[in-house]
Amino acid sequence: MKERNDDYSKRRTHLKKMSDEELKTYFFDLANKLVDPLVDLAYRNTSKSIERSVLLRMGFSSIEAKAIVNLLDEHNLLRKGAGHCVYKIAKTFNVSIRDAGLKIEDGTHLNYLVEVFNHA
């Protein structure tokens, strides 16, 4: 058999003295560091389809959800979450979730949302 020329023995010296528990902890620390950028990307970003899905679960029709999401996207508010925007309007103006979404759809409170979220 042909001998392998690699540096595995040198690279593993810092692992040699670790117990199984320490190795396990070290492995999971490295795994967390590896996926942190992915978790951060998912946390900070969304898509139109995800936001439409949220609105559908809040009781809006697909046509209403699409209109709300498109309007929020045009005003750079989609990153705040369509459901969050609808909820914010509902609580601020003391209206139902449905009425809040319909008010966003017709453009009634878009300026309020832009002002609130740009100052946050």
In a domain, 87, yes or no: yes
CA-based torsion, 50, 102, 111, 92: positive or negative: negative
Of 9 and 107, which is predicted with more confidence?
107
In a domain, 90, yes or no: yes
Give the percent of the chain with pLDDT over 90: 63
In a domain, 26, yes or no: no
Say which range, 2-6, 9-13, 48-52, 53-57, has the weakest mean pLDDT: 2-6
In a domain, 65, yes or no: yes
In a domain, 42, yes or no: no
Q: In which domain, by residue range, is 63 found?
A: 48-119
Residue 77: which CATH number? 1.10.8.1000
In a domain, 112, yes or no: yes
In a domain, 86, yes or no: yes
Quote the number of domains for the chain: 1
In a domain, 1, yes or no: no
pLDDT tier for residue 120 given thresholds of 50, 70 and 90: low
